[in-house]
Amino acid sequence: MLEADGSISLHFADLGYVDERYTLMLDIADARGRSRARVAVAVSDGGRKELSPREMLADLVFRRSSLDGDGSRPLGMLLGIESGVESIGPYLLATVMSAVRRRSFAGAWRTVRALSPKARFPRVEEYEANSLGRGSGGIFFEPRAWDPRDGSDPGDREVINEYRAELIRALRSEYGPRYTGGFVANPFAIEHYGDLLCTASSERSDYLRRMRTCDIGIASIGLHRSTPFKIPEYLAAGRAVLTEPLHFEMGPEPGLAIAEFASVHDCVEQIDSLLSRPVELAMRQDAARAYWRDHVRPDQVMARMLRSVREAV
């Protein structure tokens, strides 16, 4: 996005850094091509107190899951988007060729698979579409159930699944047709939570359309206590946000844009309060739009990171 408006120029190359799947290395230069800083950008779910081998090569480290005292700076909340710029082609080619040279064929396949139309993320404008429109007073929560057999953190996944199931049951019981959602119908959810499924289309465009019919978006903590990707989706759409307490630093304080709930019961009480106070609900939605526009929109996240780099070097 910053390249598209002429703010920066991007060039892609395999610089031979230590391979880490979720950490991007940036060599940032001035307009004359003189190197200013080497920056690591880590977008993995979990936080850690120590720097990784790749991060140790950087002058500055930015993390999606940043903890106080871990040697990093908070990157902020992230949202998967389609870039819409021509330079993505060279980037993908460089990524595939680098993976092949390292004999990381799984990494090459992940990149190729990302080109599938079904894997395509919406553009920013699609997330923002109709963000000024009010919903019908509904509540939205459409999470994923994680198969404990697929990861190295089965206990974490089971706790997340059960808490999400408890939330879905409570929202269905309290709000009936005013609640939109349920577990996404993947094989694990179909087997273990068949009574809690969302039976509507899981296509991203349909998902966003359903979400925009509601006024309040509910979020639960992700794997390794990560900040939910649903929060920036709700902010972009101008929905009031209720979430479990966030564990990692996320940059500027959200103010009215994001509220936290301590339990399922507390979540329901806060929803009741918002639905009974339309003026407060509208204020929360306006705050969500403003926080998205000023701090969470992807171009703002990257611009804030670049300002931090300029101030530090």
What is the number of domains present in the chain?
2
CA distance 70 to 90: 33
Q: Are 119 and 202 found together in one domain?
A: no
Q: Are 252 and 158 found together in one domain?
A: yes
Q: Helices H, strands E: what count in the chain?
A: 10, 9
User: What pLDDT, on the 0 to 100 scale, is given for residue 102?
Assistant: 55
| CA distances from residue 128 to 150, 195, 293 in whole angstroms, order as listed | 33, 32, 10
In a domain, 17, yes or no: no
Q: Are 214 and 305 found together in one domain?
A: no
In a domain, 18, yes or no: no
Q: Are 140 and 286 found together in one domain?
A: yes
CA distance 286 to 126: 18
CA distance 250 to 296: 9
In a domain, 181, yes or no: yes
Contact 196, 183 (CB under 8 A): yes
Q: Are 97 and 134 found together in one domain?
A: no
Residue burial 220-254, b: 16+ Cβ < 10 Å; e: rest: bbbebbbbbebbbbbbbbbbbbbbbebbbbbbeeb
CA distance 260 to 101: 46
User: What pLDDT, on the 0 to 100 scale, is given for residue 153?
Assistant: 82
Domain harbouring 278, CATH code: 3.40.50.2000
User: What pLDDT, on the 0 to 100 scale, is given for residue 254?
Assistant: 94
Q: Are 136 and 99 found together in one domain?
A: no
Q: Are 149 and 261 found together in one domain?
A: yes
The model's pTM is 0.84
Identify the domain containing residue 223 by its residue range: 126-296
Query: pLDDT in tens for each of the 313 residues of the chain?
Result: 555 555 555 554 555 555 567 788 888 877 777 777 889 888 888 777 788 888 888 999 999 898 888 889 999 888 877 655 444 455 455 554 555 555 555 554 454 455 455 556 788 888 887 777 677 789 999 999 999 998 778 889 999 999 999 999 999 999 999 999 999 999 999 999 999 999 899 888 899 999 999 999 999 999 989 999 999 999 999 999 999 999 998 889 999 999 999 999 999 999 999 999 999 999 999 999 999 999 999 889 988 988 888 888 7
In a domain, 12, yes or no: no
Q: Are 58 and 139 found together in one domain?
A: no
Q: Are 181 and 289 found together in one domain?
A: yes
Is residue 281 classed exposed, middle or buried when 0-12, 13-18 and 19+ CB atoms within 10 A define those classes? Answer: buried
Residue burial 29-58, b: 16+ Cβ < 10 Å; e: rest: eeeeeeeebbbbbbebbbbbeebbebbeeb
User: What pLDDT, on the 0 to 100 scale, is given for residue 276?
Assistant: 95
What does the angle CA 69 – CA 48 – CA 80 come to, to the nearest 5 degrees?
105
User: What pLDDT, on the 0 to 100 scale, is given for residue 28?
Assistant: 82
User: What pLDDT, on the 0 to 100 scale, is given for residue 122?
Assistant: 81
Q: Are 146 and 231 found together in one domain?
A: yes
